[in-house]
Amino acid sequence: MNLDCRKEIITDNLAIHIDLTNIKSWDLNTGFTAISLTKWKHAVSEDINLIDMGLTSFDNGRTDTMYTGETITPQDNRLKMFRVGYNVVENPTEYNTSGVSATTAYDGYGITGVTTGETGNYFQLNGGYLQGFFKLQNYNFELFPPRYVDGITIETIINIRDDSKGIFYLMGARSEDKYLPYFSGETTENNGEFDGVFTSKENLLTAHLEKQKLKDGFRFPEEKYSIVDVEPNQIENIENNLISFELTEDKKIAYKYIGDNGLLDTNVSEKSITYTGLTLITISFTPYEIIEDYDNEIYECYERRLGDLKFFVNGNLFWKIKDFNEFYFMPFKNDGEKQIGIPFNISWGGGSFGLKHSYHYDKQKYILYENDNTDFIRDNFSVYGNPFPDECEQDLGDVLVSGLTLSGDTETFYTIDVCEPSIQTPITVMRIEYVGVTGQTGTTGNTYKYFIRFNNPISVLSNREYNINYMLFNSGFFKTIDENNFYINSKISTIVYGTTDIEILDETTYDYPLDRTKSTSPEIEKRKKYGEYQYVGPDGIMYYGKTGLPVYDATEYYTYLGLEYTTHETILGRSVTGHEKWLPMKTIFKTKDNVGQQYVHIGVLIESNAEPNLDNPLFIQKFNYVGSDILKQDERKRNLFIERNFNSSYIGGIQKLRLYNRSLSNQEILHNAVIESQELPTILVNKGGRIIYRT
């Protein structure tokens, strides 16, 4: 290459080129987002919907919505870098069902755009810096190779002041794996089975991966392995997986990385930089060996090479380290969608704060009703017709109906002090009373249906389960036998609906009575194997067990017969019957996967094919739902290795960044410095005791 004939910087193998003086790289109207002017010749990007991107990009302020995604197109083949920040989170209270709100803040991470003067635009850093990722594991997206056959060259122009210091460039893992170990609020383990929040690819938010384990004993060779879930060692993800370069307080150049065995390796130059103003720093790694037949799919399998690590200041060799261990970058031992933007990251103008600002999903109980008075009930609950009428029913739509009254009852129930039984404390519960049909009612023919709905739409997130619970007490609300001596069928169930599909995973319904069809169902047949039987007696009550006693009978019946007392509030967690006792109601649901935030309505549907009884109300208490949708920081992940050692930004400014997929020669590095010096008078190129300018 004849450098004497070139009037511009070298472009061979120039994969990333950010120039804040060029409007195509930094548009003053786009905040502090910078984009490369060039692309790597092997860059690949395709149409990708990164549904799970918010799981990790929320942590550095790239989004203020953790369940959000981002779409990548084939045109996104040049590196973009974004200003780092963090999110200020406000979780809903127990009674507030509107969802999490977050605001991206930059306190302590300030950046000022300098657009005046003779040296061109640059960013003045006040604790802030830029970050971007150049590769995504398990996605067809790569803007720069994770390993370099012919070495690598990093050039950056930074503004050096008297007070300048800190990391000005970092490459590799920007943090540890936030899902290792797993956070109990979003992943739970029960006897080796895991449940909780899932990604768009149906993976739990954990770092558990399947691995073959050799069995202690086996009969056939093909049976010698079993598949088990294992949790990687956190330090394995970051060993030899990031490197940073910085300016010390006395203006020396330093590097540090996490080497073998998780130990921090660092080194500082003997000389100090004497220049101030915009200065070109070049970092070049030249391996001693070239990898033959390089395969980018298995690039980790080649032995780590030795080479020369060289630092240049304004084109002049400043510091050289021989036999330096090659640095390159690897994915984490986790699913690809849970490490977006983490292992293949570039920080320009700073290092990384690790998991300092990371958040996880956590469980919260949302209270719809608990011991509140009549005013609260009437402000928050209304009675509507059946939200899902069949073809024979009148579709009342979102119409309030009469027939039921809702109030706070303070006289029917009370608690007894354990230590002082004479002290009885009233409990306020929701009273649901039938008062007769007048005007617009929820009835159609001989069918009586009333939907008691919580007024406010409820915020839920996809890819997780929600558990609705309440206690139900029936004091004789339903009739049992009509005038023709036929059984009257009645039911109470929990209804969830919204603008997207709702999947009911499990539910407890109140069926009164359980009919003979249900009493011969496979679930009941299981009970019969143990000598138990069920039937509907002449009074319409479901009977259960060897004694044939009603399920709601008091303990003295069992005592009288000399039997051990047991309560049977549910039959295999599905259906309940009887009255005059508190019965637990439960519904587990989830929305359609990968739809983010949705709003649903929750309520209680009362159905009967005969008019309910007057003066025999239903009662409800402890009406709530539980979901993993608030955000919480995991204290175990505070002050980890990367935060402790790389949480530093550069005091000064940044202007240009160039990455070459090869090591430039000394002459090429000098050439680029000379070209830069023509526009930037602070870049003084010195060679052989002379300052060289080129016209």
CATH code at 379?
2.60.120.260
Phi, psi of 671, rounded to the nearest 5 degrees = -60, -50
Mean pLDDT of 36-62: 97
d(CA 246, CA 40): 26
Lowest-confidence pick of 77-91, 215-229, 533-547: 533-547
d(CA 660, CA 37): 13
Based on the fold, state whether residues 493 and 585 are members of the same structural domain: yes
Mean pLDDT of 118-131: 94
Phi, psi of 555, rounded to the nearest 5 degrees = -65, -25
Residue 362's pLDDT band (boundaries 50, 70, 90)?
A: very high
Residue 89 domain-assigned?
no
Residue 399's pLDDT band (boundaries 50, 70, 90)?
A: confident
Cβ atoms < 10 Å from Cβ of 88: 13
pLDDT tens-digit series, residues 170-211:
999 999 999 999 999 999 887 777 889 999 999 999 987 666
What's the confidence (pLDDT) of residue 550? 42
CB 495 within 8 A of CB 451: yes
Q: pLDDT higher for 231 or 604?
A: 604
Residue 555's pLDDT band (boundaries 50, 70, 90)?
A: very low
Based on the fold, state whether residues 341 and 422 are members of the same structural domain: no
pLDDT tens-digit series, residues 656-685:
999 999 999 999 999 999 999 998 988 989
Based on the fold, state whether residues 534 and 600 are members of the same structural domain: no
Mean pLDDT, rounded, of the chain: 86
Predicted confidence (pLDDT) at residue 549 exceeds the cutoff of 80: no
Based on the fold, state whether residues 333 and 281 are members of the same structural domain: yes
Mean pLDDT of 428-435: 97
Predicted confidence (pLDDT) at residue 527 exceeds the cutoff of 60: no
Based on the fold, state whether residues 383 and 458 are members of the same structural domain: yes
Based on the fold, state whether residues 263 and 330 are members of the same structural domain: yes
Residue 407 domain-assigned?
yes
Residue 535 domain-assigned?
yes
Predicted confidence (pLDDT) at residue 691 exceeds the cutoff of 80: no
Based on the fold, state whether residues 160 and 306 are members of the same structural domain: yes
What's the confidence (pLDDT) of residue 143? 98
Three-class DSSP category at 237? helix
Residue 125 domain-assigned?
yes
Residue 438's pLDDT band (boundaries 50, 70, 90)?
A: low
| Location of structure tokens 């991107």 | 53
Residue 654 domain-assigned?
yes
Residues whose CB falls within 8 Å of the CB of residue 162, separated by 6 or more in sequence, listed in order: 276
Mean pLDDT of 61-69: 96
| Location of structure tokens 């109470």 | 492
Domain that holds residue 528: 515-573
Predicted confidence (pLDDT) at residue 407 exceeds the cutoff of 80: yes
Based on the fold, state whether residues 282 and 351 are members of the same structural domain: yes
Predicted confidence (pLDDT) at residue 571 exceeds the cutoff of 50: no
Say whether pTM exceeds 0.85. yes
What are the C-alpha distances in Å from 684 to residues 278, 504, 691?
10, 71, 7
Radius of gyration of the chain from Cα atoms?
34
Q: pLDDT higher for 275 or 117?
A: 275
Based on the fold, state whether residues 628 and 494 are members of the same structural domain: yes
Based on the fold, state whether residues 341 and 482 are members of the same structural domain: no
Residue 618 domain-assigned?
yes
What's the confidence (pLDDT) of residue 48? 97
Three-class DSSP category at 613? coil
Phi, psi of 517, rounded to the nearest 5 degrees = -60, -45
Residue 602 tokens, joined: 């929750």
Residue 73 domain-assigned?
no
Mean pLDDT of 628-643: 96
Predicted confidence (pLDDT) at residue 541 exceeds the cutoff of 90: no
Based on the fold, state whether residues 220 and 353 are members of the same structural domain: no
Residue 103 domain-assigned?
no
DSSP percent split of the chain into helix, strand, coil, nearest 5: 10, 40, 50
Number of domains in the chain: 4
C-alpha closest to that of 329 among 244, 392, 239, 410: 239
Judged by phi (left if over 0) then psi (alpha if -120 to 50, else beta), residue 191 lies in left
What's the confidence (pLDDT) of residue 636? 95
Domain end among 231, 256, 291: 231
What's the confidence (pLDDT) of residue 687? 61
Based on the fold, state whether residues 306 and 430 are members of the same structural domain: no
